[in-house]
Amino acid sequence: MIKKTHDRLLIIDFGSQVTQLIARRLRELNVYCEIHPFQQVTDTFLADFRPKAIILSGGPASVFSKGAPMPPKLVFELDIPVLGICYGQQVMMQLLGGKVERGHGTAEFGRAYVTPTSLKEGFLNGWFMTDREQVWMSHGDHVSKIAPGFEVYGTSPNAPFAITADTNRKFFAVQFHPEVHHTPNGSKFFENFISLAGFNGDWTMSAYRDDAITKIRKQVGSNRVICALSGGVDSSVAAVLIHEAIGDQLTCVYVDHGLMRKDESTEVVNMFREHYNLPLLHADESELFLGKLEGVSDPEEKRKIIGNLFIEVFEKYAKKIGGATFLAQGTLYPDVIESVSFNGGPSVTIKSHHNVGGLPKRMKMKLVEPLRELFKDEVRTLGYELGLPSSFIKRHPFPGPGLAIRCPGEITGSKLEILRAADAVYIDQIQKHGLYDEIWQAFVAILPVKTVGVMGDGRSYDYACTLRAVTSVDGMTADYYPFTHEFLGETAARIINEVAGINRVTYDITSKPPGTIEWE
Ligand code: XMP
């Protein structure tokens, strides 16, 4: 948890798919909030957290089901504003003396329109832009009687209690989801809620930076910290922030596995050494990695080899610098939110992602994770605050196993060279056309197939490659980027003319799902 001088809002999670969006909306309004699963929120927790307001999220359960998730009653006895959303609304009504009914014929999913009643209150100021407001509904059960003290402020055809409030106690309950995109005026709803709760918008990145620096100094003391720096936004921002806090008690290790893009290693290492004067070891272990990958074509085997070697190499360099007590990681908030699972069961492994997750356990080190409270776009803002160059902050994500998973089949030095050259031309094209920032991720994959072509008067027999470019919000789902035919034609011609070893270019238009972003 962050220093308690900031006003803090608590979001109690009942397992909705969109709980994180509540936090996003509030953070955009400069309000510090944390999401905690309902099981964790006890009376002691509340006393320690000291929230200035509480939001009860939606969720898939029914208040009628056995063991239905409930917050402690204390939530309603703290004399602070509480907002219940969807399932949260039903919980409030159930606990405060209203009535919820099963949704026979009244379930509602999707777009709906809420109309105001004749009652007017400050918490709706500016919300009804017209005589009805578009909202997003997703509920099975519904409230059939509101709790004593509540009044109705908005109705929809299927939800007569779409907006209700007990303004004396500052309790608010809505049937719809103000946090989703499809409730276009949803942010205004939250703005009104936090304003009446008395938040002063003190959650800014420069405040975060100062807090984080104090916190890191306190946690680390005079001990040494080691950080695996990949050149990606998260590890870069974490490293620079920690360096600001404890200077040369931090050492970074850049593990070069020989699977980086053209000139990438030199650019990353120079940037950190020259701009930041940050102690950085350049671990050139490309021979080791490429040697162990020789003859391997199975994607999972590649990933496992790279992941294990990474840990081995990192340990070697940690010993070289005389050990460290702490390991710094660029873990983000979405990775630490404990999601509430009602149906349980392990999910299928699609790919074994490479990250440095195995390190802390093996090396018995304590973790420094200064980005644990932040979302990705907040990390970027912090990066700007710390003076990182925009070209670094806006870089497309690059996977830990690097080019290995963009080279289906066997990896060879010559294939990697061809791939690097083609990728550089492609990215240059994207930048020249001003498209880089519109695209979530773009890269070339070299295909394990040679095709016949005719170049000049001769026959060619070279590799085919594919271009990939996707739009996405979080990498979980993605769509292909709709380049123009002119762009694709020009890029294909440039790659074939400028890159020896490729005579055919294709464009991958698979979305995710069913595809994945990377080829392996
Ligand atoms: P997929 O291919 O699973 O990729 O659709 C989703 C996002 O994750 C990146 N990716 C990785 N990132 N280690 C990483 O740090 C990995 O092992 C890894 N595999 C995929 C991928 O580039 C995309 O942004």
- What are the pLDDT digits (tens) for 239-293? 999 999 999 999 999 999 999 999 999 999 999 988 888 999 999 999 999 999 9
pLDDT at 347 over 80: no
Query: Environment class of residue 485 by beta-carbon count within 10 Å: exposed (0-12), middle (13-18) or buried (19+)?
Result: exposed
| Contact by Cβ (8 Å): 388, 236 | yes
What pLDDT is recorded for position 462? 98
Question: Hey, which bits of 140-192 come out as E strands?
Answer: 142-145, 151-156, 159-166, 171-174
What pLDDT is recorded for position 342? 46
Across the range 180-189, mean pLDDT stands at 91
Higher pLDDT, 367 or 363: 367
Share of the chain above pLDDT 90, in %: 74
List the residue whose alpha carbon is closest to atom 11 of ligand 1: 399
What pLDDT is recorded for position 292? 98
Strands of 326-328's sheet in order across: 280-284, 250-256, 225-228, 326-328, 366-368
What pLDDT is recorded for position 344? 40
Alpha-carbon distance of 139 to 150, in angstroms, equals 20
Reported as a pLDDT band with limits 50, 70 and 90, residue 364 is confident
In degrees, rounded to 5, the angle at the alpha carbon of residue 253 between the alpha carbons of residues 422 and 382 is 80
Count, residues in the chain? 520
pLDDT at 338 over 80: no
| Contact by Cβ (8 Å): 69, 59 | yes
Q: Check if 485 is active-site.
A: no
497-502 CB contacts, 8 Å cutoff, 24+ apart: 498/421, 498/425, 499/418, 499/421, 499/422, 499/425, 500/418, 500/421, 501/414, 501/417, 501/418, 501/421, 501/462, 501/463, 502/418, 502/422, 502/446, 502/462, 502/463, 502/464, 502/465
Ligand 1 centre from 243 Cα, in Å? Answer: 27
Alpha-carbon distance of 255 to 272, in angstroms, equals 14
What pLDDT is recorded for position 79? 98
Tell me the best of 301, 351, 520 to mutate to test the pocket of ligand 1, counting ligand atoms within 8 Å of each CB and taking the most: 351
What pLDDT is recorded for position 153? 97
**Integer Rg of the chain from CA:** 27
Alpha-carbon distance of 197 to 213, in angstroms, equals 29
Angle between helices 19-28 and 186-196 (to 10 degrees): 70
Summarised one tens digit per residue, pLDDT across range 274-283 is 888 899 999 9
Summarised one tens digit per residue, pLDDT across range 386-403 is 999 998 899 999 999 999
181 three-state secondary structure: coil
Tokens read off for 398: 């690059």
DSSP letters of 314-358?
HHHHHHHTT--SEEE----HHHHS----SS--PPP-S-----STH
Summarised one tens digit per residue, pLDDT across range 443-487 is 999 999 999 999 888 999 999 999 999 998 878 788 999 999 999
Ligand 1 centre from 517 Cα, in Å? Answer: 7
The values of phi and psi at residue 54, to 5°, are: -130, 140
Ligand 1 nearest-atom number relative to CA 398: 22
**Which positions ≥6 away from 218 have C-beta within 8 Å?**
none
**Which positions ≥6 away from 364 have C-beta within 8 Å?**
none
What pLDDT is recorded for position 188? 95
What pLDDT is recorded for position 345? 44
In degrees, rounded to 5, the angle at the alpha carbon of residue 482 between the alpha carbons of residues 479 and 484 is 165
Ligand 1 pocket, residues with Cβ under 6 angstroms: 351, 353-355, 397, 399-401, 441, 475, 512, 516-518
Q: Check if 86 is active-site.
A: yes
pLDDT at 22 over 50: yes
The values of phi and psi at residue 468, to 5°, are: -125, 135
Share of the chain above pLDDT 70, in %: 95
Summarised one tens digit per residue, pLDDT across range 130-164 is 889 999 998 788 899 999 999 999 999 888 999 99
What pLDDT is recorded for position 125? 92
What is the pLDDT of the chain when averaged over all its residues? 92
Summarised one tens digit per residue, pLDDT across range 30-84 is 999 999 999 999 999 999 999 999 999 999 888 988 889 999 999 999 999 999 9
pLDDT at 346 over 60: no
| Contact by Cβ (8 Å): 169, 81 | no
Q: Which of 33, 139, 142, 179 is catalytic?
A: 179
pLDDT at 1 over 70: no
